[in-house]
A = this chain, B = another copy of it.
Amino acid sequence: MAAEGFRALNENTLVEYIKATPSLCSQLGNLENLQIKEVGDGNLNFVYIVTTSSGSLVIKQALPYIRCIGESWPMSKERAYFEAITLQKHGSWCPNHVPEVYHFDRVMSLIGMRYLAPPHIILRKGLIAGIEYPLLAEHMAEYMSRTLFHTSLLYNTTTVHRQEVAKYCGNLELCRLTEQVVFSDPYKESEYNRCTSPYLDNDALAVREDDELKLEVAELKAKFCEQAQALIHGDLHTGSVMATQDSTQVIDPEFAVYGPMGFDIGAFLGNLILAYFSQDGHADAANDRKAYKQWILKTIEDTWKLFEKKFTSLWVENKDGLGEAYLSSIYKDTVFSRAQEKYVKALFHDSLGFGAAKMIRRIVGVAHVEDFESIQDASVRAGCERQALDFAKKLLKKRRGFQSISEVVLAIKKVPS
C-alpha cells in the first residue's frame, strides 16, 4: 500500500517535517520549546498536538489500515485527501464551526490544522459528564444547514454538482465501511457484531429477524449508495464534534461523500437520542440527570427547528441564484413555498430513518458508544440500550407517521424508564 514518498511519522520525525514546512512553521512562530504529544484516541489515525510558546496546531496522519484493528484491516490513506478537501469546502461555507486547515500533504496523507485547545472537549464526553451546551443546537443547525445547502443542487449547477460527485466517488473504501457497519452487519450474523450479552442477545436476534425493519433499512442503504444529494460529513456523531460553552467545531469528515443530507442530520440527532437514553445509567445521588435529559430533548428539538429555519432561509435568499433543482422561473410564489415544505418534510423523514439506523448499529453492531460503554453495571447498561434500541426500531419503521420533531420528542419522553 506504500505510495512513493509516504512514510509514517512519529514524534521525532514529525519535528523535522514541521521545520521543513513553512505553512506549519508560520503557525507556530518561534520553534524553541516545540512540544509534540500524540493524542489519537480514534479508530483510524495518528493525531499530534504541536505547541510552541507562540502558537499551536494539530497534525493528523492517516495510515493505510484502521488503527484500532491493525494492519489486518487495510484502509486507503487517501481518506486524508477527502478529509482535507471537505474541511476546506465545509469550512468555506461555515468557518465558525470547522477548524481551519493550514497545510495538506497528499503524499504523506497529512493534515496540519487548528488545535482546538481546552476547554474544548469531545461533545460525547461532555454529554456523558452532564454538561449543558446552550449554543449547541444553534451551532449545529448553522453547520448542517450551511454545508448541506451550499453543496446541493439548491445552490449549484448540475455541472458543478456532477464534477464534485465524481471526485468523491473515490472515497469508496470509507463508504464501504459505512455500508457494512451501519446498513448490513447489524441485520445478520457477523463476527464483528457485539452487544451487552447475555442481556441483549435476544434483542440482537430480534433485529436480525425483523423483516419490516430490514425492508426499511434496504431503502435507506439504497439512498446512501445512490443518492448524491449534498456533500455530507458522513460520520456526524457526537464524537465528531468538539465543544465548549461558546464554541462548536465539527472535525473528522474523512467519510465525506455526496450522499443524502438526512444521513448527517440523522447521525447527530440519533446520537443525541442515544445520549438521552444513557443518562439513567449515569445518574447518581448527586445528580438524577432528570433536568439534563430535558436539556437533551430540547436540544434535539431546537436543532431540527433551527436547521429547518436556517435551511429554508438560505433557500429563499438564493432562489434566484445558480441552483438548478428549482428554477425561479418555474417555482415562484405559492408553488415555491409548497416545494420547500415538501422537500423539508422528505428530509425530516430521511433524517429520522438514518438517525434510527445509526442508533441501532451502535447497540448491536461493531462500534459502540461511550455513552453506554461507560455504564459499568452491565444490566443497567443493557436496560438503557434496550430502551434506545426499541425506540430506534419504532422510529425507523414509523418515521413517516411523525409530522414534527415535537412529536418525536414526545415519543421519546413516553418511553417507560
Question: A172-B158, A228-B228 are contacts. A330–B214 as well, Cβ < 8 Å?
Answer: yes
Are B330 and A188 in contact, with the CB atoms below 8 A?
yes
* Alpha-carbon separation in the docked complex, A340 to B364 (Å): 26
Of chain B, the residue at the smallest CB distance from A324 is B179
Are A170 and B161 in contact, with the CB atoms below 8 A?
no
Question: A153-B226, A211-B335, A334-B211 are contacts. A159–B188 as well, Cβ < 8 Å?
Answer: no
Option from B169, B222, B326, B335 in Cβ contact (under 8 Å) with A166: B169
Question: A158-B179, A163-B172, A184-B327 are contacts. A342–B225 as well, Cβ < 8 Å?
Answer: no
Chain B residues, Cβ within 8 Å of A225: 153, 158, 161, 324-325
Tally of A interface residues using CB under 8 Å? 43
A221 is an interface residue with CB less than 8 A from chain B: yes
Option from B170, B228, B229, B326 in Cβ contact (under 8 Å) with A218: B326
Are B158 and A325 in contact, with the CB atoms below 8 A?
no
* Alpha-carbon separation in the docked complex, A163 to B342 (Å): 32
Chain B residues, Cβ within 8 Å of A391: none
Could you give, for residues 347-365 of chain A, a 1 whenever the CB lies within 8 Å of some chain B CB and a 0 otherwise? 0000000000000000000
Are A221 and B166 in contact, with the CB atoms below 8 A?
no
Chain B residues, Cβ within 8 Å of A327: 184, 188
* Alpha-carbon separation in the docked complex, A295 to B325 (Å): 39
Are A170 and B166 in contact, with the CB atoms below 8 A?
yes
A175 is an interface residue with CB less than 8 A from chain B: yes
Are B228 and A339 in contact, with the CB atoms below 8 A?
no
* Alpha-carbon separation in the docked complex, A330 to B216 (Å): 13
